[in-house]
């Protein structure tokens, strides 16, 4: 079997074989292979970048190349969805050790493509960069289109608005706990939760739906519900109250693995990131999309800025430098 | 003096202080701080990404934070210039060890901004990501605008076209050789060459000028003249001949340090990358801009694809995985 390393093949040949796994971009007027790609746009485009670092954001013992490609794309697509927009094109820079096998890179490319196909058909990879380093780093830059809509910022929440979530909360954190616990039989039994950590599937197309329904603010929950609620509260100059009774549905989804690990699932729901659920506020007059579950309401500014049943909520969460 | 590390400050505060050094983007409708930036565009945008890895692409013994920020932006701007376009906005993902001091990050941000200001006024940083890792990695994604022009690809060279260069050739390689030689007095004496390696200044605004003059193909010389000529030859299905008499001017610029190091400067001119000079072909009828120096001509396809005075040229150069 021909499974050479990056060092044996060199950058150009390795990049060529990796790119060969990707579908050509429909929105690209000029695709990868030149100094830059040329992408069609109307009036404006959105851009966001996010990086995954080995042993900080993922472990190779847990993630295959496919998983990592999928997750890198999924988490970036969520940033565009959280603006109420549609993802268009992505560029992917990857730093890998020279001893990395080309088959790993090919699987990684397959994961990139699979996440586009599954989560945001029409989005595609138009460029990339491959470099050698000691540690695996994946840096994705994603672009999006508003198609005439206004972007949904973090700063638009107003007192009286309702707070709602689309997607799962705590599922990826539960999967991480299962992986950290390290019992193979549990990991196999609860593969759905483990997969939510390894290959999250945020509801990308619901970002535009929320925008069309009049969402006043939105972000994707990447660092924990409490911490991300605080981001909206701070950016909007408001306070936010959520209710534990409205979180029970999210907790119920985690009950079985939580029992096996003897953990209170609420902790995952409140502080777990990486599901990239969409967290939005809607004016009281809005017809909130059915995919969104109301969990609280926006109050006038006050301290603490985030409340759970009237008490200060846990707004700690994940810091990509400090950890959890 | 308040010079805390990334670990002491955390991601959010570190990012905030770093971003505070940057000027707000004029073309950004929504700047950094939300899930994505929103950038105005007309019909299309260009996008390209490039990564610098510690001890592969730079050494911290040689480069300050300012140098590294400047170089990361300069090399990316050159990719947009090489398409015959104008740079607009950049996003910067940086992975740094947790022990990195905030003052280093602030200098890095100053370098990013200085390169925009000096090389492409109007271009600006609209977003970024800061993550912790073992090794410093800087990944920049740059965008550009064609303003109604067609992009200049690598594939448009035709037999009979003239080959021309704008910018320096071999100067950055000479600077690298001086740094590798490691004698402080030489490094001080030839600081102009050393600076070309640490903070290259490609002629960014000449990319559009070449486009307007009818350039049939273009790229920026990042891996060596011979290797990058081969890229144009392969993409265009042609052969290219250059003449050593036309390289003498480039060699003369390197003569003093070359003598001190007892090196033939032609080697730097032919195989040295990282100056990011613009290498273009022009139809014989074109009025070639005065900033471009003609060094050869395009021939019908044949082997070898790149000739120097009728003999096979050295097309080896830098491979970002394999090295030189």
Ordered per-residue pLDDT tens for chain B, 324 residues: 568 998 888 877 888 888 888 887 766 677 667 888 888 888 899 999 999 999 999 999 999 999 999 999 999 999 999 999 999 999 999 999 999 999 999 999 999 999 999 999 989 999 888 999 999 999 999 999 999 999 999 999 999 999 999 999 999 999 999 999 999 999 999 999 999 999 999 999 999 999 999 999 999 999 999 999 999 999 999 999 999 999 999 999 999 999 999 999 999 999 998 999 999 999 999 999 999 999 999 999 999 999 999 999 989 876 555 554
What stretches of chain B show up as alpha helix (H) in DSSP? 6-19, 65-81, 102-119, 171-181, 184-189, 191-198, 206-212, 225-236, 248-252, 255-261, 265-271
State the Cα–Cα distance between residues B65 and B109, nearest whole angstrom.
Answer: 8
- Taking only the tens place, the pLDDT of each residue in A219-271 is 999 999 999 999 999 999 999 999 999 999 999 999 999 999 999 999 999 99
Query: Given A95, A120, A145, which residue is the final one in a domain?
Result: A145
Work out the average pLDDT over A172-178.
Answer: 96
User: Hey, are the CB atoms on B36 and A10 less than 8 Å from each other?
Assistant: no
Residues A17 and A73 occupy one common structural domain: yes
Instruction: Decide if A150 is inside a domain.
Output: no
Instruction: Decide if A317 is inside a domain.
Output: no
Residues A103 and A182 occupy one common structural domain: no
Residues A168 and A296 occupy one common structural domain: yes
Beta-sheet pairing, B238-242 with B293-300: antiparallel
Instruction: Decide if B234 is inside a domain.
Output: yes
What's the gap in Å between the CA of B271 and the closest CA on chain A?
Answer: 17
Q: Which domain holds residue B39?
A: 6-145
Instruction: Decide if A106 is inside a domain.
Output: yes
Looking at per-residue confidence, does B89 or A27 come out higher? B89
CATH of the domain at A305: 3.90.650.10
Work out the average pLDDT over A192-215.
Answer: 98
State the Cα–Cα distance between residues B51 and B255, nearest whole angstrom.
Answer: 31
What's the gap in Å between the CA of B260 and the closest CA on chain A?
Answer: 32
Residues A139 and A197 occupy one common structural domain: no
Instruction: Decide if A151 is inside a domain.
Output: no
Q: Number of residue pairs across A and B with CB atoms under 8 Å?
A: 241
Work out the average pLDDT over A270-278.
Answer: 94
User: Hey, are the CB atoms on A48 and B79 less than 8 Å from each other?
Assistant: no
**pLDDT at A35 > cutoff 90:** no
Q: For residue B40, what are the β-bridge partners?
A: A44
What's the gap in Å between the CA of B152 and the closest CA on chain A?
Answer: 9
Residues B22 and B122 occupy one common structural domain: yes
State the Cα–Cα distance between residues B177 and A257, nearest whole angstrom.
Answer: 59
Nearest to B134 among A134, A219, A235 (CB): A134
* Complex confidence, ipTM: 0.89
Instruction: Decide if B151 is inside a domain.
Output: no
B-chain CB neighbours of A135 within 8 Å are 133-135
Residues A14 and A57 occupy one common structural domain: yes
Tell me, what's the pLDDT at B164?
98
- Taking only the tens place, the pLDDT of each residue in B85-125 is 999 999 999 999 999 999 999 999 999 999 999 999 989 99
Nearest to B319 among A10, A83, A126 (CB): A10
Tell me, what's the pLDDT at B80?
97
Angle at B40 between CA B35 and CA B46, to 5 degrees: 90
Residues B141 and B52 occupy one common structural domain: yes
Q: DSSP class of residue A3? A: -
For residue B149, give the chain A residue with the closest CA.
A38
Instruction: Decide if A20 is inside a domain.
Output: yes
What's the gap in Å between the CA of B175 and the closest CA on chain A?
Answer: 22
Work out the average pLDDT over A306-311.
Answer: 96
CATH of the domain at B80: 3.30.1330.10
Residues A116 and A80 occupy one common structural domain: yes
Tell me, what's the pLDDT at A79?
96
* Overall domain count for chain A: 2
Tell me, what's the pLDDT at A304?
95
Instruction: Decide if A283 is inside a domain.
Output: yes
B-chain CB neighbours of A46 within 8 Å are 36-39
**pLDDT at A321 > cutoff 70:** no
State the Cα–Cα distance between residues B40 and A145, nearest whole angstrom.
Answer: 11
Residues B140 and B185 occupy one common structural domain: no
Residues A114 and A195 occupy one common structural domain: no
Q: List Cβ neighbours of B111 (8 Å cut-off, separation of 6 or more).
A: B64, B65, B66, B67, B68, B69, B70, B71, B72, B73, B199
Residues B133 and B49 occupy one common structural domain: yes
A-chain CB neighbours of B102 within 8 Å are none
Query: Given A115, A145, A175, which residue is the final one in a domain?
Result: A145
Residues B93 and B30 occupy one common structural domain: yes
Q: List Cβ neighbours of B248 (8 Å cut-off, separation of 6 or more).
A: none
Tell me, what's the pLDDT at A16?
82
């Amino acid at each position: 079997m021909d499974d050479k390393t990056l060092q044996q093949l060199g950058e150009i040949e390795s990049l060529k074989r990796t790119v060969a796994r990707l579908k050509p971009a429909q929105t690209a007027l000029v695709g990868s292979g030149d100094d830059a790609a040329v992408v069609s746009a109307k009036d404006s485009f959105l851009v966001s970048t996010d990086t995954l670092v080995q042993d900080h954001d993922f472990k190779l013992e847990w993630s295959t190349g496919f998983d990592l490609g999928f997750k890198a794309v999924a988490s970036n697509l969520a940033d565009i969805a959280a603006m109420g927009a549609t993802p268009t094109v992505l560029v992917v820079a990857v730093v890998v050790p020279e001893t990395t096998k080309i088959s790993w890179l090919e699987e990684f490319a397959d994961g990139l493509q699979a996440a586009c196909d599954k989560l945001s058909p029409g989005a595609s990879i138009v460029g990339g960069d491959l470099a050698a380093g000691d540690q695996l780093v994946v840096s994705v830059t994603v672009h999006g289109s508003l198609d005439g809509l206004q972007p949904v910022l973090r700063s638009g929440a107003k007192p009286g608005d309702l707070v709602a979530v689309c997607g799962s909360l705590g599922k990826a954190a539960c999967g991480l706990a299962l992986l950290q616990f390290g019992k193979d039989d549990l990991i196999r039994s609860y593969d759905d939760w483990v997969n939510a950590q390894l290959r999250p599937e945020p509801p990308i197309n619901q970002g535009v739906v929320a925008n069309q329904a009049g969402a006043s603010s939105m972000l994707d929950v990447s660092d924990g519900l409490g911490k991300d609620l605080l981001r909206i509260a701070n950016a909007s100059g408001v306070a936010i109250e959520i209710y534990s009774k409205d979180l029970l549905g999210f907790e119920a989804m985690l009950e079985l693995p939580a029992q096996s690990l003897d953990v209170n699932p609420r902790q995952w729901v409140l502080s777990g990131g990486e599901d990239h659920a969409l967290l939005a506020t809607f004016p009281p007059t809005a017809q909130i999309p059915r995919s969104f579950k109301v969990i609280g309401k926006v109050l006038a500014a006050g301290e603490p800025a985030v409340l759970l049943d009237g008490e200060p909520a846990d707004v700690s969460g994940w810091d990509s430098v400090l950890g959890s």
